Amino acid sequence: MFDLDLWKEILSALKKNRMRSFMTAFGVFWGIFMLIVMSGTGRALENGVMDGIKAFASNSAFFWTEPTSKPYDGFQRGRRWNYKNTDIEYIRTHISDVEYLSPRLFGANTRDGDNTIRGKKTGAFNVFGDYPDFFKIDPWSPIKGRLINEIDIRQNRKVCNIGERVVEVMFDEEEDPIGEYIKINGVYFQVVGVVHAETRVNIGGGRKEETIIIPFTTMQKTYNHGDVVHFFSVTSDPGVPVSKVETRLKELLKERHHIAPDDLQAIGSFNIEVEWKKYTGLFTGIQLLTWIVGIGTLLAGVIGVSNIMLVIIKERTQEIGIQRAIGATPGTIITHIVAESVFLTVMAGYIGLALGVGLLELLNMALEAGAQDEVFFRNPEISFTMAVAALAVLVLSGIVAGLIPARRAVSIKPIDAIRDEGI
């Protein structure tokens, strides 16, 4: 296989008809190029979607209220209702599999216009009231300062955590926001932490970097929410499917708030465990489809290589006959033809692989430069395993493409080959 004369002969044969060699190789090039690009973009879509939920507690679920869809217990259809503070302790008492439970209040948001003031600076941000346990379900990390804690909850402190975008709008670049005050809907709160969200999906809407978080109890009292709870976040104990907790929690809340047991609309929910399985299955299917389409395209190119090799053998019938007559073994002829096929296939495939990876890298650079906040498409890439597998497919394809013509070549008797009228 590493005979110098053999490789000189292969290169000479390919140069004799460069256009034919190019068109033959193009099919293989296009097949591997499409396989790499489709796999990389599929991975980018997966990275974008999974990045939005991967840091969430995988055993978490979220619950909010919707208008009832059925009349029940004297109440009409379409009734609007809310969770209550008493539901918090009731859930903890009656569902033993709950690990963390965190209520949430929705305050002002960016759609309401400017709701935050500091001196001459104003801004519109999303405001939420939370318990510290919420950070264990939907993780946030402090860049400066600290997160809201249990003392803030018990003492109804007027403190807040703010996202990076809030700092950019409300403070000068050289200012330290920790300890400073901002006015949120007419009430002053002290900044105790600048926080960064580990997930991209914001339960409640809006961009997370534009978020202000204040203690749940403080928000209830300060803005006269009474005992209303807008939202619940729950995680199940380790080893317990959160779907079990989800079902039980809905049953309890429907019973407490006089909602028909078969009313499927009254309580909205989002189950991270279920969604994770859906997304995992979806992207496994996308990668499988990518391989099917890519290998199908590559197979078409390999068939083209095999057909062209048959044509080449037909043109070189006398040459092969002379080689056989002067002592060339069938193994030598087969090695020569297979080597030529593998060389053509691997060369074209390697170029396709390199250009495909290059295109993905350019796309990644463009995304990082102009769309850093893009949620659904990020980091297009292929793994090292994928690249090695693609090269292995190329080598195997080249061998298969050359074996059929090679067997055809050695099946011709030397005397018949010499008599061929190809010259």
- Confidence grade of residue 420 (pLDDT, cut at 50, 70, 90): low
Return the top range by mean pLDDT from 105-119, 164-178, 303-317: 164-178
Percent of the chain residues past pLDDT 70, beyond the cut: 78
Higher-confidence residue of 111 and 215: namely: 215
Q: What is the pLDDT of residue 235?
A: 92
Per-residue pLDDT at 413 exceeds 70: no
- Confidence grade of residue 409 (pLDDT, cut at 50, 70, 90): low
Measuring CA to CA, how many Å separate 152 from each of 21, 100, 131, 179? 75, 18, 9, 15
- Confidence grade of residue 395 (pLDDT, cut at 50, 70, 90): confident
Per-residue pLDDT at 124 exceeds 60: yes
- Looking at residues 304-325, what average pLDDT do you find? 64
pTM (2 decimals)? 0.69
44-95 pLDDT, tens digit each: 877 776 666 666 667 889 999 999 999 998 899 999 999 999 999 999 999 9
Q: What angle do CA 261, 265, 270 make, to 5 degrees?
A: 105
- Confidence grade of residue 254 (pLDDT, cut at 50, 70, 90): very high
Q: What is the pLDDT of residue 225?
A: 92
Per-residue pLDDT at 191 exceeds 50: yes
Q: What is the pLDDT of residue 422?
A: 47
Structure tokens at 181: 């005050």
**Beta-strand relationship, 140-145 and 228-229:** unpaired
Return the top range by mean pLDDT from 174-178, 389-393, 403-407: 174-178
Percent of the chain residues past pLDDT 90, beyond the cut: 40
CA 266 from centre of chain: 31
Higher-confidence residue of 77 and 280: namely: 77
335-379 pLDDT, tens digit each: 777 777 777 777 888 888 888 888 888 888 877 776 555 456 777
- Looking at residues 196-200, what average pLDDT do you find? 82
Residue 164 class from Cβ within 10 Å (0-12 exposed, 13-18 middle, 19+ buried)? middle
Mean pLDDT rounded to a whole number for the chain: 82
Higher-confidence residue of 115 and 204: namely: 115
Q: What is the pLDDT of residue 351?
A: 86
**Closest to 271 in 3D by CA, of 247, 296, 290:** 247
201-218 pLDDT, tens digit each: 667 667 889 999 999 999
- Confidence grade of residue 1 (pLDDT, cut at 50, 70, 90): very low
Return the top range by mean pLDDT from 50-59, 102-111, 255-264, 373-382: 255-264
